[in-house]
Structure 1
Amino acid sequence: MTQPTIRRAAVIGSGVMGSGIAAHLANSGIPCLLLDVAPAQLTEEEAKLGLTLEHPSVRNRLANAAIAKMKKTNPAPLYAEEFAQRITPGNLEDDLPRIAEADWVIEVIVEKLEAKRQLFGRIEPYWRPGIVVSSNTSGISINEMAKERSEGFRGHFMGTHFFNPPRYMKLIEIIPGHDTDPELVKRMKAFCETKLGKGVVLAKDTPNFIANRIGTYGMLAVLREMAEKGYTVEEIDAATGPAMGRPKSASMRTLDLVGLDTFEHVVDNVRNNVADPAEQALFETPEAVRELVKGGRLGEKSGAGFYCKRKGADGKNEILALDPATMEYRPQRKPSAGSLEASKQAKGTRAKIQALLGGGDRYSELAWNVLKRTLLYSASKAYEIADSIEEIDKAMRWGFNWELGPFETWDAIGLVPSAKRMAAEGESLPEWVAAWIAEGHTSFYSQEQGVRSYAHEGRWRKEEQRAEIVSLKGLKEQGRTIKGNGGASLIDLGDGVACLEFHSPNNAIGADILTMISQSVDEVRRNYEGLVIANEGRNFCVGANLMLLLMEAQEQEWEEIDGIIRQFQNAMLKLKRLEKPVVAAPHRMTLGGGVEACLPADLVVASPETYYGLVEVGVGLIPAGGGCKEFALRASESAASLPGSDVQPYVIRSFETIGMAKVSTSGHDAKKLGYLRETDRVAANPDHRIYEAKQAVLRMVQGGYEPVPERKLAVAGAEGKAVLTLGAIGMRESGYISDHDLKIAKKLAHVLAGGDLPAGTLVSEQYMLDLEREAFLSLCGEPLTQQRMQHMLTKGKALRN
């Protein structure tokens, strides 16, 4: 069976998940038909407009409303608002035949088996061979849904369980039915990974599949501990959040976000669909949840759940916590204990969990009991719900944002000692785990020369090695580091391409990174074909080392600051002048100096979730590592590309972007803001960006790469500076900015306009760098700027003084 390329899709159901899936298909460049039911009644507004039930805007009301909501929702489901144009609204009565035009039809209606069966019965008359049909169910049997359909339909049918919100959550569980073509499953997996940018796990058709099965059980274990041991809501979240390698929302806040009614439904789905009475008993919904749901306290969507937001006596919002004993809300009480503090101080997830468990207090006991139950349950269900423990670990990392999956967690706390403790406490290990330990194994995973293997059916199985997933950590373990220091390393990617990796705290740019940039340019010039700039940190780079700058400014070490900025500028200029291709591959937070480290590159291959911005004005400064210079250069080049065009409008745009510290909401948005060029790219899958960056380098080499010669740029000059300054003064007079903001804006205007030269004067890049550095130095000496720097370092947010 061949499976055509998916060029068009249809989503049936325009609720939160359906509209989110349609939005992400649009993000990925796939036109999508979004269908829902045709309303049976007019709204008051429609009646006032004289519309009838037959009017298209009425019949498509639900899909239209969903598309309109996409543009306003925060966090945004779309990479860019204009991508909504790729979604066509419709309704099931008029437009169902149009699914024949699609290559993939996704059902996203109510989680009821009979409703889904009926819908697939309506779909099949319009289905043609080759169309993939899938359900986004979170736990209903795939085989039961399709059992009344034809053999050909069942061969093209599967579950594709997206996690909410679809844009941001990495996981898709693909669940084949008994009759689903295995080759089609492989191709859909590859499509979801490469085109939708997702992490895909293959799940078996069991209740709630993988992530929801394990995650729901883990939540029940938490709620059981709370009920049996009298822990407070805050204590539960303190021990089961980052201290345990879980998200900040921990357990109770996560339940509120999910919705307690939704959680109850998911729990009931397992209990009603498993045969073992002992397991059914494990999936009894706790009394506290039932009482909250009965009272309409469903979590965040109803305004109250385990937490409740209310206005305090001072009129400000405050978050109250539920007292499980009284089921009433009270002010939160922040837990404090040695184990919690030790976990907070520990570096890395493994060390945090070990510190939490080793504290010897009630929180250590809570963490142990929750982990013990979750690990044992995961192991007991391992081969029932998935083909490997690796799939389970991926599902929990990608679907629930756990730092470590269950089996990785078990390794982190010590497989053998923890198993002995479990046995001493009367627990029974699953037979396969006991046999694995008896054979002398001390972990579920092993690492050798950068390649990881995992326990599988009594032997080691190597993880799949895929060319498009490059692991810098793995390459370093293979001895592929060319050179390095405390802040950065140069790594051999193979095929004559090197990678410059930042690994300082928060990947902040300091002297170590700048030195390594300079050394990397020399090394690549001598021995390599090109350079990639990328790393595997949580964020690409949050900017320069602000603490160092503040300390030097407070000590009035102006020569030291001048030297730091000169080193930064020289490193960026040296990178730009490298005679070999340079490709930057930023991801997530890429701010200030992080952007300036990418600006010299010939090409940028960004992650879809790249939050990119020159934000220096937020700490009372302006970009001085070449950021202003590069924007002025781009303005000059843009004007030169259109005969008779003036540079001024382009400079104004740059002034607004930098002066307002605009940060992109996605890689695509970075193009709209002018941070990325039209020639720059956004990788569909963030895990592939280093590979794609390397391939881009090789294509440039094969195409006969020629470095861009240094060119002079035309400046807006004194006239342009006056226009920019006037705009800033207007904002001050309107109360939008402070006096200090105005001072910063004037400095920025002076630099971007090229100083007080006549408009159109051609200047060198070095001239612009000198202007940057002078303005930066003068602002460092301002007490209000130093206050802003201090506030950012201590509070983590900008101060407007």
Structure 2
Amino acid sequence: MHKKIRTAAVIGSGVMGSAIAAHLAGVGISCWLLDIVPNSLTAEEGAAGLSLQHPKVRNKLATGAIAKLKKTNPAPLYSEVFADRITPGNLEDHLGELAKVDWIIEVVVERLDVKKSLLATIESVWTPGTIVSSNTSGISINEMVSDRSDAFKAHFLGTHFFNPPRYMKLLEIIPGEQTNAEVVQYMSEFCEKILGKGVVIAKDTPNFIANRIGTYGLMATLSEMLEKGYTVEEIEAVTGPAMGRPKSATFRTLDLVGLDTFVHVAQNVYDHVNTEEEKKIFHIPDVLREMVARGWTGEKNGQGFYKKVKDESGKQILALNLATLEYAPTKKVSSASLEASKAAKGTAAKVKALISANDRYAELAWNLLKPVLLYSAQLLGEIADSIVEIDNAMKWGFNWNLGPFELWDAIGLVKSVQRMESEGNLVPGWVKEWIANGHTSFYKSEPGSTFYYSEGKYKGIESKPEIISLKSLKEQNKVIISNSGASLIDIGDDIACLEFHSNNNAIGEDILSMISRSVDEVRNNYRGLVLANEGRHFCVGANLMLLLMEIQDDEWDEVNHIIKTFQDTMMKLKWFEKPVVAAPHSMTLGGGVEACLPADQIAFSAETYFGLVEVGVGLIPAGGGCKEVALMASKHLPNPEHDLQPLMNQYFETIGMAKVSTSGHDTKRLGFMRSGDFVVVNQDYRVYEAKQAVLRMDAAGYKVQLPEKIRVVGDTGKAILQTAAYTMRQGGYISKHDQLIAGKLAHVLAGGNVPAGTYVTEQYMLDLEREAFMSLCGEPKTQQRMQSLLTTGKAVRN
């Protein structure tokens, strides 16, 4: 038997250990963070009269790590308050606490002897049934516990988080030879459902799956570069988005990871692989060793393959010449193949266009892609049992858009294998046999199902009810109604989902029309409605280009009509007699927020960046955003004796400074999270959890929301808000135009020129919003801000 995980202990408070503790705390798991006891005092500690026996000294490594979590960017914590769930300690005074927790995670230095010694110490207090795991990135799981008891081995496994744990989806689970199968199954489900991870099962081989293939790809790239004389910029141009990989491509990625870390990982593979061919590719180039020796290890030391400098023109990025080890300004790279890739839509088309061209960079792309595909095929069965595990590991761990076998399908399996063999490459026998049996791809799809190569035949990918794919449902003809901006999709159990799919999911007339039509359709035929999509961002706001065009043409009646239609549509959604749940993710800004607030509940993805940011383009929220925050304040303090002003001051600052949440949890700090709203950690479960919320409300006998009166702070409250803006202006923190916008915002949030404590209608507040919005649209400086955002992607400060 094994314990269900409710509490944990992380041993090792370095960057990775503390970040893992932060992620556990973020999903509600209280944990200890333990480290060694220091053997010396700092000057400050001595001056304060502390001794080596003082708890502050003995726990300082963990205590300092927890404090650092609150300052680190990107933030390891969903919310700073979650740090309170982490208790600092040390391995001497708090060793006994390990007997009380449900999961112990070892995150100490990557040395086998240190890990074996620690695991022996853990077993001395270990309670049978407690799960123990190592976060090692490559040391053998079996060797670590070779001296431990069979009972301990049965509850021990590898849990390799990728850094940073909050943001990186991949978690490799590595069972040992004697790990209990139930423990592996439980941890796979726990890490997926509770921690929100993409779990792959790896074998106990050097560097497991993602780092094995990823490191191979990076070493192969360095080898090609040094042999053929390519520059850093040329490699970056080819190995970034053109090949379906992140913008950080190869060398920015290495600078972020740290060259010393990369060398350690590559050396680990070199030391443990058996063939001379593999040892050759994992041999560390002299230039890399020289860079590490010089301390040029990447961003943490200020320089690596790139170096940032300041000159008369400002900040400049220099790139390293590996032949001379001198830095020079970066140069732009272009070619027919790169332009063809850029013009193609979708990763498959981009990669195919890139390697199909006939120039220097097409040749480079092929020479970098080919060895990775062949190596991945060679390792099938050795590092993982399934091509799906390998593909997912590379997508989730290295942020590739397509895994190696998906990429192979994209460029044409049969044709590419013919090219490889014509160039003298050895293609694994199972690949040739697969093709000989008449197959032209590793994957194939049918409506609602995907199949993949498995031991000589196609095997279906198991579907999980918690994962609702809108793309798959559309392929199954589950679209109810649709237009250019949005679609209403049947997601089962008589629940419909409204999906935005306009450019950047910006809200325009097409989406507003579809919201209105969807309400009518759901009213007649469904139990409730979910608002969700699978775009890169949920919604970046309203269609600013359309609005600016109408303003510049002096079509003021049309501008008024656009805003009034937006407001009316949001109110139709709010007063709908069926339950509505919004499920935002990633960037949810401006009009995107205003589309969520009318919903009965909001199912925030953990990574939701939520804010009313209209002041950045010289406007204020006018799709109900101001009205909704005023209503939330009024409902939060319903007693007329309660002072609304402090809460309204907070909302005024939040909107006036265009504050955006740093996570779904952080929406609470900004005042956007209501009592019924919740956070979904696993992004893949977002639509499912929103659907379940709709079903719960329907089963409970949903009652339609009714129009509510809003208690406002009125003219005296407005004066306080405007005084705050005046003070900011006098201090030089905001411009004159910023102060004008703030004055309009204060007027609306306060409820206009009415006495404090007056109750007003929602429509009254909407009218105030629209009037203020229209007046700001007429301001030349607002139009300049709008134009700047559309043309440069940045709002001008004027």
Normalising by the residue count of structure 1, what TM-score does the alignment of the two structures yield?
A: 0.98
Report the counterpart of residue 426 of structure 2 in structure 1: 428
Tell me how far apart the structure 2 counterparts of residues 204 and 515 of structure 1 sit (CA, whole Å): 52
The superposition leaves residues 492-518 of structure 1 with CA deviations (integer Å, 9 ceiling, x where unpaired) of: 011110000001111111111100000
Report the alpha carbon displacement of residue 643 of structure 1 after superposing the two structures with TM: 5.3
1:644 and 2:636 equivalent? no
Give the whole-Å Cα distance in 2 for the aligned partners of 1:428 and 1:113. 36
Deviation at 1:353, TM superposition (A): 1.3
Match of 2:397 among 379, 399, 415: 399
What secondary structure, in the 3-state scheme, does the structure 1 residue paired with 2:463 have? coil
Counterpart of 1:502? 500
Tell me which residue corresponds to 1:126: 125
What corresponds to 2:45 in structure 1? Answer: 46
Match of 2:575 in 1: 577
Q: Secondary structure at the match of 1:385?
A: coil
The aligned counterpart of 1:246 is 245
Paired with 1:492 and 1:725, the residues of 2 have a C-alpha distance of 48
Does the 8 Å contact 2:3/2:131 carry over to 1? no
- After superposition, residues 625-774 of structure 1 pair within 5 angstroms as 625-640=623-638, 642=639, 644-774=641-771
Counterpart for residue 617 of structure 1: 615
CA distance in 1 between counterparts of 2:276 and 2:698 reads 64
How far did 1:358 drift? 2.5
Rounded to whole Å, the distance in 2 between the matches of 1:193 and 1:181 is 19
> Do residues 465 (structure 1) and 463 (structure 2) align?
yes
2:317 to 316, 319, 325: 319
Residue 455 of structure 1 deviates from its aligned partner by 0.8
Question: How far apart, CA to CA, are the structure 1 residues paired with 2:718 and 2:775?
Answer: 18
Distance 2:71 2:303 in 1: 24
Match of 1:556 in 2: 554
Instruction: Quote the Cα distance in structure 2 between the aligned partners of 1:69 and 1:409.
Output: 40
The answer for the alignment partner of 1:410 in structure 2 is 408
Pick one of 476, 479, 494 that aligns with 1:481. 479
The one-letter code matched in structure 2 to 1:46 is: E
Q: Which position in structure 2 is the counterpart of 1:337?
A: 335
1:450–1:473 CA contact under 8 A, matched in 2: no
Structure 1 residue 563 displacement after superposition: 1.2
1:543 is matched with 541
Match of 1:207 in 2: 206
Cα displacement (A) at 1:788: 0.6
User: How many residues in Structure 1 have an aligned counterpart in Structure 2?
Assistant: 798
Distance 2:132 2:288 in 1: 35
CA positional deviation for 1:3: 2.5
Q: What is the deviation of 1:315?
A: 7.5
- Report what 1:606 is aligned to: 604
Cα deviation for residue 798 of structure 1 reads 2.6
Does the residue aligned with 2:636 lie in a helix, a strand or coil? helix
Could you tell me how far apart the structure 2 residues matched to 1:659 and 1:721 are? 14
Task: Report the counterpart of residue 346 of structure 2 in structure 1.
Answer: 348
- Larger deviation, residues 650-659 vs 538-547: 650-659
SS in 2 for 1:221: helix
CA distance in structure 2 between the partners assigned to 1:3 and 1:678 by the alignment? 35
Cα deviation, residue 380, structure 1:
0.7
**Residue 679 of structure 1: how far off its partner (Å):** 2.0
Aligned partner letter, 1:435: E
For the pair 1:14 / 2:6, whether they are aligned, the reply is no
User: Is the CA contact 1:491–1:500 (under 8 Å) kept in the aligned structure 2?
Assistant: yes
Q: 2:194 aligned with 1:175, yes or no?
A: no
Aligned 8 A contact 2:576 2:705 in 1? no
| 2:491 alignment partner, SS class | strand
Equivalents in 2 of 1:451, 1:624: separation in Å? 43
**Conserved 8 A contact 1:639-1:650:** no
CA distance in structure 2 between the aligned counterparts of 1:349 and 1:564, rounded to whole angstroms: 36
3-state SS in 1 of match to 2:751: coil
SS state at 2:380 partner: helix
Give the Cα–Cα distance (whole angstroms) in 1 for the partners of residues 488 and 696 of structure 2. 21
- Once the 2 structures are TM-superposed, how far is the Cα of residue 10 of structure 1 from its aligned partner? 0.5
Give how far 1:689 is off.
1.0
Could you say which residue in structure 2 is the equivalent of 1:375? Answer: 373
Q: Secondary structure at the match of 1:94?
A: coil
Indicate if the aligned counterparts of 1:638 and 1:650 stay in contact, CA closer than 8 A. no
| Contact in 2 for aligned 1:246/1:403 (Cα 8 Å) | yes
Q: What amino acid maps onto 2:339 in structure 1? A: E
1:155 alignment partner in structure 2: 154
2:128 maps to a residue whose letter is: P
Q: Which of residues 490, 512, 515 in structure 2 aligns to 1:514? A: 512
How far the C-alpha of 1:759 sits from its partner, in A, is 2.1
**Distance in 2, Cα, partners of 1:185 & 1:461:** 22
Partner of 2:361: 363
**What is the deviation of 1:344?**
2.1
1:243-272, Cα deviation, whole Å (9 max, x unpaired)? 111111100111111111111111111111
Counterpart of 2:729 in structure 1: which amino acid? Answer: R
Could you report, residue by residue, the CA deviation over 1:705-752 in whole angstroms, capped at 9, with x for unpaired residues? Answer: 111211122222222211111111111111111000011011111111
In the aligned structure 1, how far is the partner of 2:707 from the partner of 2:270?
Answer: 69
In structure 2, the residue matched to 1:799 is 796
1:533 maps to what in 2?
531
1:428 and 1:510 mapped to 2: Cα distance?
54
Asked whether the equivalents of residues 585 and 604 of structure 1 are also in contact (C-alpha less than 8 Å), the reply is yes
* Amino acid corresponding to residue 742 of structure 1 in structure 2: Q
- One-letter code of the match for 1:749? A
> For residue 670 of structure 2, what is the amino acid of its counterpart?
L
Matching of residue 265 in structure 1 with residue 264 in structure 2: yes
Q: Which residue of 1 aligns with 2:71?
A: 72
Q: Deviations over 1:360-406 (max 9, x none)?
A: 21111111110001001001101110010000011001000111111
Distance (whole Å) between structure 2 residues aligned to residue 450 and residue 354 of structure 1 = 26
Matched residue, 1:56: 55
For residue 543 of structure 1, report the CA deviation from its aligned partner.
0.5
Q: Deviations over 1:141-187 (max 9, x none)?
A: 10010111000000000000000001110111000000000111000
Corresponding residue for 1:233?
232
**Contact 2:100-2:127 at 8 Å conserved across structures:** no
1:650 Cα shift? 2.5
Once the two structures are overlaid, the 10-residue window that deviates more, 77-86 or 787-796, is 787-796
When normalised by structure 2's length, the TM-score is 0.99
Which residue number in structure 2 is paired with residue 103 of structure 1?
102
Alpha-carbon distance in structure 2 between the residues aligned to 1:644 and 1:635: 14
1:359 offset after TM fit, Å? Answer: 2.8
CA distance in 2, matches of 1:18, 1:26: 12
Instruction: Tell me, yes or no, if the aligned pair for 1:671 and 1:678 is still in contact at 8 Å.
Output: no
Does structure 2 conserve the Cα–Cα contact (< 8 Å) formed by 1:638 and 1:647?
no
Give 5+ residue unaligned stretches, structure 1.
Answer: none
SS of the aligned residue for 2:547 comes to: helix
Distance 2:32 2:275 in 1: 42
Shift of 1:287: 2.2
Correspondence 1:782 to 2:782: no
Change (3 A) 1:755 1:643: closer
Q: Percent identity?
A: 66
Give the CA RMSD over aligned residues.
1.1
